Chain A
């Protein structure tokens, strides 16, 4: 007890170095725990880009490719799914709902997604969150379009603005414009922090209407376009879509349905389970996360070395103090214990400050981070790794404290009761 009070007073006496040491440890601990929080948040946000979807179905090919183009709207499909096959599974007994996607066009760098109103009714992300409208309504007419939040922000669109879709995927204006069939903005979706924000949604009819006069992948001759006024839902035929999302009535049906789709005889199709595919994808891009952790470990090591340096350099000026302690009966073991205690207190204080600091910061900036970076940082107690880190810092602090302690012990033995100033 007396040693604890001695350690406390001695640290208090060296306020400035003590303060700086605690702050440097606190910063490295905050970084370590913060990176852990961000990592959990990032993984969580990533895994919840799409929720409540049991299967993603597309033309047979790579499962990663299917995930990328259907969920992240990256890359493109090599083949399509016929509308008949889609209807077959849409009306399947085990299926609760489906969301069709028709991809392949873009608007000034943003992907255009043809879908049905099932999308607005059933699409879920972040476990149980649904699509919401910031403004406007669901598309109804053939040339109605709904914009993701980022699209509307980046291009300064508002309700009623006309937009022209580009054929194919291109940044900015493409070579082939569907400028004979402009769309009109009827709704803007609220921010979801998922790829939904970066997409332009039209109806499946809209996609068909754009391509109504196209033959063999080429546009109609100028002047031969069907005028917009003559296009109705009745004379449009939806021939194909790119992919569709499936929700089963019961989770047990999922695997059976997956097998059924994969072995579907009419058309080569493939069904993937999004959770499995997402974690596979995360593992392939998870290197960045490891690199970040390694860097923070080095920061922590620097912080602890700073403590070592400050304790070690203080020893020379404290030789007198050690001799006095020995004279009043403190054995070398108590001298060692005193110094280990000091470094332990420093590490503990630094860790406490760092952990509370980073939690305060992440709690305060949570809405901002979610808004700006689309990442929801959960302010939950540290993960197991987090606790391991925290304990490791304190233990490392104690271990590092033994270095100056042993030095002080040697000094004490060499000096005896003679005081060297």
Chain B
């Protein structure tokens, strides 16, 4: 399977179909025992652990299903975290001070008013937007979202996904969105069914 740069792809599959494993491979947390994982033109399966950690830090934004935020940091500190942990990602801000970059990203997601809030005071929807802001800061080439909307209600779901789209497009990031919820399919450029993919792989 190949995903072109800048595309937004919806991958769906029931639980147990290997979604988390696939994302783990893409994000470079897991190492492929056979086969090849190419991301942004680099072979993740040939990198060392720390190279993959570094790759993830600088090129990948990751949104979890829930509980995305570090409870003892403020919203601003949570968003700034990837840039403070990875120097390459910070350099990609093109000289914009981190503080301003955080503010700008937050304003794109409509959460600039919350910047100094404690994350524990946020609603689930707000938390997911903060998580999206964190995954988008420093324009990573790849944004991976692992069921980010499953804890949101229908209206918020669609609004969140649209926001995510807009921001990924603006940053020219590739978006890989994983869910078991097929109702979201129509929103995406491309859809991949993981069970079908698995069957195809087995029949090869």
Interface residues of A (CB under 8 A from B): 2, 6, 9-10, 12-13, 320-321, 323-334, 416-419, 421
Contact = CB atoms under 8 A, between A and B. Distances in A.
A324 B70 contact: yes
Nearest to A415: B29
A419 B57 contact: no
A324 B58 CA distance: 15
Contacts of B56: 327, 329
A407 to B, nearest CB: 18
A95 B81 CA distance: 80
B68 A324 contact: yes
B64 A327 contact: yes
Contact of B62 (A9, A327, A421): A327
Interface string B79-106: 0011011100100000000000000000
**Residue of B20, B27, B72, B86 with most partner-chain A CB within 10 A:** B72
B69 interface: yes
A331 B29 CA distance: 9
Interface of B: 20, 23-24, 27, 29-30, 49-50, 53-54, 56-58, 60, 62, 64-73, 77, 81-82, 84-86, 89, 134, 146
Nearest to B52: A331
A418 B85 contact: no
B81 A419 contact: no
A339 to B, nearest CB: 15
Contacts of B77: 9
23 contacts: A2-B85, A6-B70, A10-B72, A323-B64, A324-B64, A324-B68, A325-B85, A327-B29, A327-B56, A328-B81, A329-B53, A329-B57, A329-B60, A329-B86, A330-B57, A332-B53, A416-B24, A416-B30, A417-B20, A417-B62, A417-B64, A417-B146, A419-B67
Contacts of A329: 53-54, 56-58, 60, 82, 85-86, 89
Nearest to A330: B85
A328 B67 contact: no
A328 B72 contact: no
Contacts of B70: 6, 321, 324-325
A328 B57 contact: yes
A251 to B, nearest CB: 66
A416 B146 CA distance: 13
Given A9-B73, A13-B71, A320-B67, A328 B85 contact: yes
Given A324-B64, A417-B24, A417-B62, A332 B49 contact: yes
Contacts of A417: 20, 23-24, 27, 29, 62, 64, 146
A321 B64 CA distance: 12
What are the 5 closest A-B residue pairs judged by CB atoms, nearest first?
Answer: A329-B57, A13-B72, A331-B53, A327-B62, A2-B84
Contacts of A326: 29, 53
Nearest to B62: A327
A330 B55 CA distance: 10
A322 to B, nearest CB: 10
A10 to B, nearest CB: 5
Given A331-B54, A417-B23, 12 more contacts: A2-B81, A2-B84, A9-B77, A327-B62, A329-B53, A329-B58, A330-B53, A331-B50, A332-B53, A416-B29, A417-B20, A417-B62
Contacts of B20: 416-418
A342 to B, nearest CB: 12
Contacts of B24: 416-418
B69 A324 contact: yes
Nearest to B134: A328
A326 to B, nearest CB: 7
A282 to B, nearest CB: 53
Nearest to A1: B84
A328 B30 contact: no
A10 B69 CA distance: 13
A335 to B, nearest CB: 10
Contacts of A320: 67
A208 to B, nearest CB: 84
B138 to A, nearest CB: 10
A9 B70 CA distance: 10
A13 B20 CA distance: 30
A321 B71 contact: yes
A44 B60 CA distance: 66
